[in-house]
Structure 1
Amino acid sequence: MKKSLTVKINQCSEQVVGPVRKLYGLLPAKSVVQLLDTDDLAANPRSAKKGSVTADIEDSLRLSVELFPAKTKGILLASSSYRALDRDRYQLSFLDPETEGILDGGHNALAAGRHILREAGATERELNRVKDWEAFRKAWTENRNAIGEIVDLLDFEMPVEIQVPAEMQDESVVETFRSSLLEIGAARNNNVQLSEETKANKKGFYDVLKKELPSSLAEAVEWKTNDGGRIKVRDVIALCWIGLSKLELPGGLRVNPNQIYRNKAVCVAAFNKLLEHADVSTPSEGGYTVGIHNEAVKSAMKVAGVFPELYDILYEEIPSAYNKAGGSFGKISAVRIYDPEKAAEKNPKYLRAEPTTPFFQRPVSYTCPDGFIVPLLYGLRALLDVDKDGLLVWKTNPQAFLSRFLVEIMKNYRFVFEMAVWDPQKVGKNISAYEFAESAIAAIYSVNRAKSAA
């Protein structure tokens, strides 16, 4: 949805660099208010949060307003459409708010907004609840009338750099400008290199996976830095390689199975490289985001949407299955047990707080180390097949298969634990554990299928 505003830039100067025209100057407080009315920070690859940085900015606005412009680099804006007006005013149109608007300086914007709320009469108790951009937007809307009453009394200026196309009449220049926005934001965002996950998310690499995850889970993933999700995006992306490993991928891309456990950053980098490939994705108009056109990869994302649930099932059921297979899960030193009474005796084996599964937070009595789970989860690729159209499909319902055969699987898989002296890190890092798990599951599936056919 297109968003527009008109801002005044005091002491404005210009500089042209390639396809970019830079407008430098100082935004008066009234224009900052207009910007905060308009921008929802969607384009900023990182989400602003209250902290020591915002506290220092607020102190400067309150205690040394004259020096404030010298203390901060301010806000970086980008707009692919603009018009110069009279009296140092500029009309900015954010044609795509997901990629235009505030590219850097989200913490400055949040701190300035909190300062304005305070000047408008918000109490410290109310401001304590304004910890992130989402809470700020709510408080800003609720106090907008009060802000309107004091806006002319605000006397601070915010340094600003506004990047616009060097030549609005040249379509090729405008398109080049739009396609450069992500790299500009990444390079300028607080002088901190953005994570691979954050940049990939802005390019749209993860959109197809988001659609395949249960909505409650997709909302809990931290798709971009400081977004507040409890689940790291790399934990989800790494699981995608279980299904992707069954496909013939462009460029011969592959990830060793133990990397899913030991080096999720490698999984993310390989995933991003895959989705950049011309055989997998097509740049959108302007080249900023991509659309996935490879149906085989799409089918792998559909399969990947199930793996967080399968992970949690294993987290819940491995302890019981291991015990039924002749082991004693609670005696494994890497395992902790929920028992508040024994925890009160300060025995580190026991937990006072009830543990939960990593993805869907279902309560459990035992912790189950990642190194025990991932090879077995990878082994479920034995239940995957590529159909005549080249699409990845399940040969049988994986949840039902685990419900029926996990104890039988564990009678074989428990020996992997024993060979690693019950050390989950040794299990998770050993490629043989993955191969063993897949072979065990494949054998059980084949025997059961033969019995069903008889």
Structure 2
Amino acid sequence: MPPSASPRLILRFAILAEQPNTRDEDRLSHVQVETSIAGIKRYIGFVRGRDLFPLFDNVSLEANPRAAKTGSVTDAILHSLETTPELFPFKSKGILLGTSNYEALQRSRFDLHFEDPSTEGILDGGHNMLGIGIHMLSHVLDEAELGRITLWEDMKEQWDAHRSELEGMKEKFDFLVPVELIVPANVDDEFNVQQFEMSVLDICAARNNNAQLTQETKSNKMGLYAEIQSRLDKEIADRVEWKSNEWESNESRPIKVRDLLALAWIPLNKASEERLLPPGHSVAPQNIYRNKGECSKLFDKLMVNPEVTRRTDGPVHELINATVASCFDILKDLPKLYDKIYADFPEAYNSHGYRFGATSIVKIYDPARRSAAKDKSGFVVSQPLTHYLGLKVSYRYPDGLIMPLVYGLKGLMKIEGDRVVWSTDPFLFLDRYLNDIAGAYRLVLDMARFDPQKLSKNEASHEFAVGEFEKALIKHRSKAVA
């Protein structure tokens, strides 16, 4: 396959081995070779630091499942490069590259084309690339400037700004780096190329297992979250940790993607009950709170179903199911509704003459009252924030207390054709009826003795909440008719 017209990236190996090589192919039958390498050819060897410049110039870490950021790993890489560079190729697992479009040139050089940065390029070794880049930049930046580099993007910005200075001293960087390049065994065989593209994601995930690659990170690379991400309000989408380690440590806590996937099962369960999903796809209501990992796995199982998505480019999946798409439209509202219930429920509960703050697991933010109180155990010093939007609220309490109410929103959903839609504006509905629902909900709170674990791990409490929303909706409709 001749390289396309995309910019050329020439990578030169100082020492190179090919697996399987020509002698292997002569010795084994075609079937044996194909079986032994699964349609993949591997080049392994060492590349000098200065010959990595084309990678730094042209390649992102988009294909690497984990976002690289500074920490103990990069500190160790920097220490090795500074103190024992001759041992670095034996201390480091190096860099893994992958592409389906390449050409082997003379003198151990390769013309590489990473046409799809989301699945090709640097598959593993992002921290090595970041550490090596910082090491090179240490020759042109002062300590304060180096200290401001936290993420790959920070390093790349400095790399581009000081590229000409680095070029002038590149001969200094003669240390060796282990590099592995995987490519299709036969680039002229279209089936082999497609097979390779589908295998890259699994290889990438397996290589990152030692770094605790999450299932969500792999699923994100498969495109399973793309439709969710595109629908969410930017202020929420920007706070979701779509891939491991991408969240800066100095930021407020990120939203875990599995939190969103758990919420997605509220409308998905509605669709499942109406037999609009492939058979066998639903979750127990209580698992939305107690077992979000299971919700994530079942979400993946649904999304790779051929009735729901189809493969497009290699491992990437495209949503084709209108019902699931409508559930994601519903999901867009659920984080905001979650926060609204969390913020408004205490006062809705108190509106019936009860005291939401009477239990020890509920803490109140009221600096004036706290200052005057002899017993300050019922107060918090810092103001609580809601989970998704970070809205300021006056009560801090376990989310388990209101999770059945969040699931109760399913009672406001209906079916139109093959789509799940809201029966009424859920925000206005909560403004009008949350007080009524809170009064009835006291029953399950009392039965669980305000224990969030008992409450949210009990399926009956979730179905009770759905029933209360449905009754309030009937009341709302009767008033509208009258």
Question: Shorter-normalised TM-score: what interval?
Answer: over 0.9
Alignment correspondent of 2:10: 6
1:383 and 1:126 mapped to 2: Cα distance?
Answer: 54
Alignment counterpart, residue 198 of structure 2, candidates 145, 156, 179: 179
Question: Which residue type is aligned with residue 118 of structure 1?
Answer: S
Report deviation, 1:436: 1.0
2:181 is the counterpart of 1:162? yes
Report deviation, 1:312: 0.5
Contact 1:311 1:377 (C-alpha < 8 Å) held by counterparts: yes
Structure 2 spans left out of the alignment, 5+ residues? 21-36, 248-252
Question: Which residue type is aligned with residue 296 of structure 1?
Answer: T
Contact 2:75 2:131 (C-alpha < 8 Å) held by counterparts: yes
Alignment counterpart, residue 219 of structure 2, candidates 183, 200, 218: 200
The residue matched to 1:164 in structure 2 has which SS?
strand
Structure 1 window deviating more from structure 2 (39-48 vs 147-156): it is 147-156
Report deviation, 1:153: 2.0
Alignment correspondent of 1:322: 349
2:332 is the counterpart of 1:312? no
Alignment counterpart, residue 44 of structure 1, candidates 64, 67, 70: 64
Alignment correspondent of 2:301: 273
Contact 1:334 1:424 (C-alpha < 8 Å) held by counterparts: no
CA 1:100–1:3 in structure 2 vs 1: closer, same or farther (change >3 Å)? farther
1:316 and 1:289 mapped to 2: Cα distance?
Answer: 38
Q: How many residues are aligned here? A: 451
Report deviation, 1:347: 3.5
Report deviation, 1:152: 2.1
2:412 is the counterpart of 1:383? yes
TM value normalised by structure 2: 0.91
CA RMSD of aligned residues (A): 1.7
Contact 1:9 1:88 (C-alpha < 8 Å) held by counterparts: yes
2:361 and 2:199 mapped to 1: Cα distance?
Answer: 48
Alignment correspondent of 1:83: 103
1:369 and 1:152 mapped to 2: Cα distance?
Answer: 58
Q: Could you give the per-residue CA deviations for residues 162-183 of structure 1, whole angstroms, max 9, x where no partner exists?
A: 1111111111111111111100
2:359 and 2:396 mapped to 1: Cα distance?
Answer: 11
1:349 and 1:143 mapped to 2: Cα distance?
Answer: 55
2:233 and 2:358 mapped to 1: Cα distance?
Answer: 35
Alignment counterpart, residue 44 of structure 2, candidates 24, 33, 38: 24
2:282 is the counterpart of 1:254? yes
2:155 is the counterpart of 1:136? yes
Q: Could you give the per-residue CA deviations for residues 132-179 of structure 1, whole angstroms, max 9, x where no partner exists?
A: 112222222222222222112222111100111111111111111111
Structure 1 spans left out of the alignment, 5+ residues? none
CA 1:91–1:386 in structure 2 vs 1: closer, same or farther (change >3 Å)? same
Alignment correspondent of 1:103: 123
Question: Which residue type is aligned with residue 379 of structure 1?
Answer: G
Alignment counterpart, residue 399 of structure 2, candidates 367, 370, 387: 370
The residue matched to 1:351 in structure 2 has which SS?
coil
1:328 and 1:87 mapped to 2: Cα distance?
Answer: 79
Report deviation, 1:419: 1.1
Contact 2:66 2:243 (C-alpha < 8 Å) held by counterparts: yes
Query: Between the two proteins, what is the percent identity of the paired residues?
Result: 42
Alignment correspondent of 1:264: 292
Contact 1:2 1:96 (C-alpha < 8 Å) held by counterparts: no
- Extract structure 1 runs of 4+ deviating beyond 4 A: 343-346
2:377 and 2:178 mapped to 1: Cα distance?
Answer: 53
The residue matched to 2:202 in structure 1 has which SS?
helix
1:374 and 1:270 mapped to 2: Cα distance?
Answer: 20
1:189 and 1:102 mapped to 2: Cα distance?
Answer: 12
2:475 and 2:366 mapped to 1: Cα distance?
Answer: 40
Report deviation, 1:326: 2.2
The residue matched to 1:168 in structure 2 has which SS?
coil
2:143 is the counterpart of 1:115? no
Question: Which residue type is aligned with residue 473 of structure 2?
Answer: Y
Contact 1:355 1:364 (C-alpha < 8 Å) held by counterparts: yes
1:251 and 1:164 mapped to 2: Cα distance?
Answer: 38
Contact 1:50 1:131 (C-alpha < 8 Å) held by counterparts: yes
Q: Could you give the per-residue CA deviations for residues 343-381 of structure 1, whole angstroms, max 9, x where no partner exists?
A: 898944322211111100111111132111210011111
Alignment correspondent of 2:33: none
Contact 1:309 1:360 (C-alpha < 8 Å) held by counterparts: yes
2:459 and 2:209 mapped to 1: Cα distance?
Answer: 40
Alignment correspondent of 2:29: none
Alignment counterpart, residue 424 of structure 1, candidates 439, 452, 468: 452
Report deviation, 1:213: 0.7
